[in-house]
Amino acid sequence: MTDLKTKEIDEAFEMSPEQFRAWRKALGLKQKEAADRLGLKKRMIQYYEKGNRDGKAVKIPKTVRLACYALSHNILDFDGEQVSTGPVVPGEGPVVLKAIEGGMQPESAPAE
């Protein structure tokens, strides 16, 4: 069952094709580079920037929007405990692994 609040939030934060393209260009990424960083095919980047695929609307999924945010903050990857940070554009500096203090559990969640 879908939480209505979550659905409402997701709909309120849809990313437009123009916003997606502006994000990519602001980071100085070519379509292929953006696809590589997001774990997608270049063709998906093209669909997201066009806003449709074969005449049907294409929405940018929440997972991609969140990945865009992470890359905007130089977060390259996350394995559940460590974050790799560094420049999004290759060759612009070192990649660093940092452990997340306190682990993944929110403060209000009971420990297992």
Q: Which of 6-10, 44-48, 56-60 has the lowest mean pLDDT?
A: 6-10
pLDDT tens, position by position, 64-101: 999 999 999 999 999 999 999 988 887 777 888 888 77
pTM of the shown model? 0.78
Residue 41, CA distances (Å) to 31, 46, 49, 93 in order: 9, 9, 13, 25
Instruction: Phi first, then psi: give them for residue 25, nearest 5 degrees.
Output: -70, -35
* Per-residue confidence (pLDDT) for residue 112, from 0 to 100: 47
Q: Is 54 or 5 the better-scoring residue by pLDDT?
A: 54
Mean pLDDT of the chain, nearest integer:
86
Q: Among the residues of 1-94, which ranges form H helices?
A: 4-12, 17-26, 31-38, 42-50, 62-72
d(CA 71, CA 77): 9
Give the confidence band of 62 by pLDDT, cuts at 50, 70, 90.
very high
